[in-house]
Amino acid sequence: MNIITLLLPYQPPWDWQQFHSHFALRAIPGLEALSADSYSRGFCIDGAPGWLRVAPLPGQNALELRCRIASPAHLDPLEQRVRRMFDLDSEPETIARHLSADELLAPLLLRNPGLRLPVAFDPFEQAVRAIVGQQVTVKAAVTIVGRLVQRIGTRLQTPAAPGISHLFPTPQALAEADLSGIGMPGKRVQCLQHFATRIADGSLILSIEHGSAALIEQLCALPGIGPWTAHYIALRAFGEADAFPASDLGLLKAPVWGAAGIDARRLTLRAEAWRPWRAYAAAHLWHCYSGG
């Protein structure tokens, strides 16, 4: 195993606190660990386990990535995933210029110029989180996903970063597991295991190679997955800049719309002007909704 340290530069502004807050709310015990100035997790690339630690570098427009990998060949794909995870290749000035044309968004962009799109390390993991998270709180979803990790995730045999003991379950393990007593309604368990089966047998491939619209359409064709879940997967699994879960409560109730909020149909129409950066508009509306 090789321990390697890399610098991952980015174009400012970029806000560590946004990512810290995002992952603090969603971190799965045993799989992920968070300190005030670092994020760590276990991962698997090409069947080989490893761990990583990401930390901001004060005074530098870069993150430090420290990782343990099985092969040097895994370094490039790992670096690409971490760059996507922390949205380090975004063009904040271009996005801000476009979205600031909306008079309600403009003050949000001035207030939080560094907001970006926190993205999951692994698309399958994010899809599972989104399916589990349907119609429950983030905290409840984290609890249930934590049970999945402990029950059917692979335990790391080699020493990992502090607090990291497990890998996320594979699609096949999830498809075949007994999930009785896991804390989800039966229909959602069926939805989750059907999805995992489709990924495991290769009949569904999580990719935006042919565009996010194609993936969203494929996901919506599965039983139990609707537009919110499909758009949220595109946004959080791939950092798709134009994904927009228009029925999301946080978007509909953001304070910019006033006490009455806005309905999904009107929000969808308004968001047409935000293309191709609707996901970044969503990030600002979510931040506004949470009091940021």
Q: Which residues contact 4 (CB under 8 A, 6 or more apart)?
A: 66, 67, 68, 69, 75
pLDDT tens digit sequence for 25-50: 999 999 999 999 999 999 999 999 99
Q: Given this model, what pLDDT does residue 292 score?
A: 67
116, β-bridge pairs: none
pLDDT tens digit sequence for 141-162: 999 999 999 999 999 877 667 8
Instruction: Convert 236-269 into a string of H (helix), E (strand) and C (coil).
Output: HHHCCCCCCCCCCHHHHCCHHHCCCCCCHHHHHH
Q: Given this model, what pLDDT does residue 159 score?
A: 63
Residues in the chain predicted with pLDDT less than 70, given as ranges, are: 1, 159-160, 292
Q: Given this model, what pLDDT does residue 248 score?
A: 94
Q: Given this model, what pLDDT does residue 161 score?
A: 74
Q: Given this model, what pLDDT does residue 1 score?
A: 64
Give the chain's domains with CATH numbers: 2-90 (3.30.310.20)
Q: Given this model, what pLDDT does residue 211 score?
A: 92
100-111 residues labelled b (16+ CB within 10 A) or e (exposed): eebeebeebbee
Cβ burial, residue 43 (10 Å; 0-12/13-18/19+)? buried
Q: Given this model, what pLDDT does residue 181 score?
A: 95
Q: Which amino acids are annotated catalytic? A: 248
Q: Given this model, what pLDDT does residue 2 score?
A: 78
